[in-house]
Structure 1
């Protein structure tokens, strides 16, 4: 099923409300003037308020993309789509839940 390409500057949240931001290694393929995110890019989470009992902070720190595009590649790396799945991880690499991609550009889609 086609979905829009996810790009730097698009909105995504961790499952606890933290803001996901991505730095892209791709500088050649742009949508709306912003770089398209690929699977190897670094996505970091800021503002996650998740804690575990007995009140120990365990915020989401990074996103690892698990299911990127299967037909769209940029510099040999699969692109991330709005429908792509991933997992947010704590600093200790403990899985914390999936990110939610909120908004993205609406002109270019892929599968």
Structure 2
């Protein structure tokens, strides 16, 4: 499914409200003047509010598992707003909230 390409300035959160940021954006491609991210790049999550008394929280990292099919950067599919990412250790999804809307990838 096509979607806007995620870049370093995109707002991405875990399901519990933590802020997710890419660890190493792809500097070869810029959108809105900022580097994009690919699905190979892990995200770090800070401020996750999920703190069960026993179990698998809070969210610490996340990894994209579904991104663009036809658009790649540095040999990897680009991360898109409509893609899918999973947080660790909780297994909950990342929620891209806001991204640039000019460049769409499918």
For these two proteins, the number of residue pairs brought into alignment is: 106
Provide the residue aligned with 1:76 in structure 2: 75
For 2:26, what is the secondary structure of its paired residue? Answer: coil
For 2:17, what is the secondary structure of its paired residue? Answer: coil
Provide the residue aligned with 1:24 in structure 2: 24
2:104 to 90, 99, 109: 109
Q: CA deviation at 1:42?
A: 2.4
Distance 2:23 2:102 in 1: 21
Show structure 2 runs of 5+ residues with no match: none
Runs of 4+ in 1 over 4 A off after TM superposition: none
Distance 1:37 1:62 in 2: 15
Q: Indicate the structure (1 or 2) with the bigger Cα radius of gyration.
A: 1
**Residues 25-57 of structure 1: CA distance to partner in whole angstroms, max 9, x if unpaired?**
411100011111101112110000212235x78
Distance 1:42 1:34 in 2: 18
For 2:27, what is the secondary structure of its paired residue? Answer: coil
For 1:9, what is the secondary structure of its paired residue? Answer: coil
Distance 1:24 1:39 in 2: 11
- Contact kept in structure 2, 1:8 and 1:24, CA below 8 Å: no
Within 5 Å, give how 1:1-80 maps onto structure 2. 1-53=1-53, 58-80=57-79
Q: CA deviation at 1:24?
A: 2.7
Instruction: Name the TM-score, length of structure 2 as normaliser.
Output: 0.91
For 1:49, what is the secondary structure of its paired residue? Answer: coil
Distance 1:25 1:87 in 2: 18
